Amino acid sequence: MDGDEDWDVDLAAINQASELKRRQLKEAEHQLRRAQREARKEQLRLSLSSEPEPSSISTNQEVEKLKQCEQEVRRLSLQQQQQLQQHQKVVEEQEMEIQRSLHELQHQHEVQRSQIQLQQQQETKELQEEEIKKLEMQQTEMMQLREEIQRLQEHEKQQLEVQQMLQQQIQQLQHDEELQNLQQEEERRAQQQEMLRLQLQEMEQLQLQEIERLKALEQKR
The answer to whether residues 68 and 13 touch, using CB atoms and an 8 Å cutoff, is no
Q: Does the pLDDT value for residue 52 go beyond 80? A: no
pLDDT of residue 3: 52
- Residue 2's nearest CA partner among 120, 88, 83 is 120
pLDDT of residue 32: 64
User: What backbone phi and psi angles, to 5 degrees, belong to 41?
Assistant: -60, -45
pLDDT of residue 55: 46
pLDDT of residue 56: 46
Q: If you average pLDDT over residues 117-127, what whole number do you get?
A: 72
**Which region, left, alpha or beta, applies to residue 116 given φ > 0 means left and ψ of -120 to 50 means alpha?**
beta
pLDDT of residue 42: 65
More confident site: 63 or 142:
142
Instruction: Give the contacts of 139 (CB within 8 A, at least 6 positions apart).
Output: 95, 98, 99, 102
**How confident is the model over 29-49, as pLDDT tens digits?**
677 667 667 766 766 666 666
Rounded to whole angstroms, what are the CA distances from 63 to 35, 42, 68? Answer: 28, 20, 9
pLDDT of residue 168: 85
E strands, 112-152, in order: none
**How confident is the model over 179-210, as pLDDT tens digits?**
566 677 778 788 888 888 888 888 888 888 88
Handedness of CA 175, 181, 183, 187 (dihedral sign): negative
- Residue 109's nearest CA partner among 91, 96, 97, 122 is 122
More confident site: 103 or 91:
103
pLDDT band at 171 (very low <50, low <70, confident <90, very high): confident
d(CA 216, CA 162): 29
- Residue 22's nearest CA partner among 153, 201, 145, 125 is 145
Q: If you average pLDDT over residues 55-71, what whole number do you get?
A: 69
pLDDT of residue 44: 66
User: What backbone phi and psi angles, to 5 degrees, belong to 116?
Assistant: -110, 165
- SS3 state of residue 51: coil
DSSP state letter for 158: H
Q: Which of the residue ranges 82-91, 110-119, 138-147, 183-192 would you say has the lowest mean pLDDT?
A: 110-119
pLDDT of residue 50: 53
**Which region, left, alpha or beta, applies to residue 110 given φ > 0 means left and ψ of -120 to 50 means alpha?**
alpha
pLDDT band at 134 (very low <50, low <70, confident <90, very high): confident
pLDDT of residue 180: 62
Q: Does the pLDDT value for residue 87 go beyond 80? A: no
Q: If you average pLDDT over residues 136-144, what whole number do you get?
A: 85
Instruction: Give the contacts of 124 (CB within 8 A, at least 6 positions apart).
Output: 3, 4, 7, 109, 112, 116
